[in-house]
Amino acid sequence: MNYPPRPTWAEIDLAALCHNLRQAQNGCLTSQRIMAVVKADAYGHGAVPVTRTLQSKGVCDFAVATLEEALELRQAGIDDNLLVLGGCFPGQEGAFLTYDLMPTVLDVESALRINIESVRLGRQLKVHLKVDSGMGRVGFLLQQLRDFLPQLSQLDGLVIEGFMSHLACADELDSSVTTEQQDQFLVMLQMLREVGISPREIHLNNSAGLSGWGCSECTLSRPGIMLYGGLPGDDFETRLDLRPVMHLRSEIAQLRHISAGSGISYGHHFRAPSDMLVAVLPIGYADGYNRLFSNCGQGVLSGVKIPVVGRVCMDWVMLDVSHVPDVKVGDCVTLLGSADGMLISGDDWARQLGTISYEVFCRIGHRVPRRYLPLG
């Protein structure tokens, strides 16, 4: 059946994505390619359309977090290099082989398990070996790598296609951790080469890394957030020229004349100080419009910033439009992104919510349809 959707949507500006890709490419050495991080549904922007757009601009290496995310891309016909950052869990080996997916190998156990299945099928699987150069999360520590290398070089079912690590503090430009991680990474790479393993791909840098720190040995950089217009850290505000890709918009469902003293929304945490005109939008915290915006969020309507009044509900939010001229039901309010030359960025949300723009974008709910603005 054909019917119009609830008028709340996230506009995805693919031209802005391409602009941000160029910024990432400009930040890398010319010898490096971009491995675009499109995990978590491309940070909430839609993995398939984002990947296709980046493909059209020449990107042919992509990283996701899970097997399921990789399969979504394969099923959409994307046959480029796909790296699964989260590794290969027990029982998933066959799927990696069938769909030609590359797992990161995070430990001895998964290396041996993948090798057994590859050998059993008379195949080889390309993998990226991940080392922990200081992130303190997953991957081989130096001593673990040293102990494992003799055995690793004998595993005929694996091709060590890539060697990688992840940076913990690259968003802080004065941190010594990154230089220590870079040094450690190169030491471990050398250990690998000494046993005759020479991975074709070497990669360390995320958005912050590629924008602030070089890596002359690297063949790839793995940006995520900067592709979507989010800053990798406060230090990058003046260094990067990024454009917002996601714009969250909703149309006014009701206009209400509220008399002075009336309470608005759950708990009556807002009481009208004077007679007011209040717009009700069909969007709420179930859509990713965080409840912490109660009484302090903002929208843009007709070039005016309008404040949220009362608590954000699961499906509704109220804003004061008393000072907006000619407001009417159906007018479009922008809660995230740009409108009329004004911007409420993912980083603005993040500062207000005490989080990072990564989480802001990922939390825009599934029930918010994504509308893709063509490249033009």
Ligand X SMILES: Cc1ncc(COP(=O)(O)O)c(C=O)c1O
Q: Which residues bind ligand X (CB under 6 A)?
A: 37, 85, 166, 206-208, 222-225, 232
Measured distance CA(358)–CA(356) in Å, rounded: 5
Which is nearer to ligand X, 27 or 297 (by Cβ)? 27
Cβ-Cβ contacts under 8 Å for 274 (sequence gap 6 or more) = 260
Output the smallest distance, CB 325 to ligand X, in A. 41
When the beta carbons of 33 and 311 are compared against ligand X, the nearer one is 33
11, 249 in Cβ contact below 8 A?
yes
**Tokens representing residue 207 in the block:** 């958005």
DSSP structure class, residue 5:
P
Separation of alpha carbons 209 and 217, rounded Å: 14
Residue nearest to ligand X (CB): 224
Of the two residues 223 and 346, which places its CB atom closer to ligand X in the complex?
Answer: 223
DSSP readout, 40-61?
A: HHHHHT-HHHHHHHHHHTT--E
Of 37 and 281, CB closest to ligand X: 37
Q: How many CB atoms lie within 10 A of CB 313?
A: 18
Measured from the CB atom, the residue of 28 and 208 that comes closer to ligand X is 208
Distance CA 77, CA 48 (A): 9
- Taking the complex as a whole, the smallest distance from the CB of residue 105 to ligand X amounts, in Å, to 13
Choice among 39, 43, 126, 285 that is catalytic: 39
Least Å distance, CB 222 to ligand X, is: 4
Is 39 catalytic? The answer is yes
Least Å distance between CB 164 and ligand X? 7
Q: Outline where DSSP puts E strands in the chain.
A: 8-13, 33-37, 61-64, 81-84, 102-105, 125-130, 158-164, 201-203, 220-221, 246-251, 254-258, 263-264, 270-271, 276-281, 298-301, 304-307, 317-320, 332-339, 342-344, 370-373
> 74: burial class by Cβ within 10 Å (0-12, 13-18, 19+)?
middle
Residue 25 beta carbon to ligand X: minimum distance, rounded to whole angstroms: 14
Give the residue with the Cβ less far from ligand X, 225 or 248. 225
Angle between helices 142-152 and 108-120 (to 10 degrees): 20
Residue 90, judged by CB atoms within 10 A of its CB (0-12, 13-18, 19+), counts as exposed
Catalytic residue among 57, 130, 266, 289: 266
Active site residue 289: no
What is the DSSP secondary structure assignment for residue 286, as one 8-state letter? G
- Enzyme catalytic residues: 39, 266
